[in-house]
Amino acid sequence: MHRIQETAAKVVASDTQSSVGAIDQAVMSYSRPCASIVEVSNAADLPVTVVQPALSKVAAGIAALIDGREHIASATRELIKVQKDSTLRETAFECPGGLPATSGQLATAELV
């Protein structure tokens, strides 16, 4: 069993939650240019081919952010595995939905 100090684990949990929040904010902010590009394109009656390269670049950026969010979710699942084998297995660290899932539930739990 791993011996993890609760204060150190709280820092990791807080940093992980902050990272997800930052990515979520970035996704919301980054999606605004998509709407703006489409609105301006429509208002100016531009051919679809004129703004498509810019719209594609913005969409690729959003996709990269969402991929990053999945990496944080995967890291969170790995951290929960470590926690389950530690002295802090009963500690929730302000997890959405309460305590982390049991080992049988862990595979299907939505963590982020």
pLDDT at residue 28, rounded to an integer? 94
Averages of pLDDT over runs of 10 residues in the chain (112 residues) are: 83 90 94 95 96 96 96 91 81 57 46 44
Q: Could you tell me the residue ranges of all domains in the chain?
A: 6-106
Instruction: DSSP for the chain, please give it.
Output: -B---HHHHHHHHHHHHHHHHHHHHHHHHHHHHHHHHHHHHHHTT--HHHHHHHHHHHHHHHHHHHHHHHHHHHHHHHHHHHHHTBTTTT--TT-TTSSPPPHHHHTT----
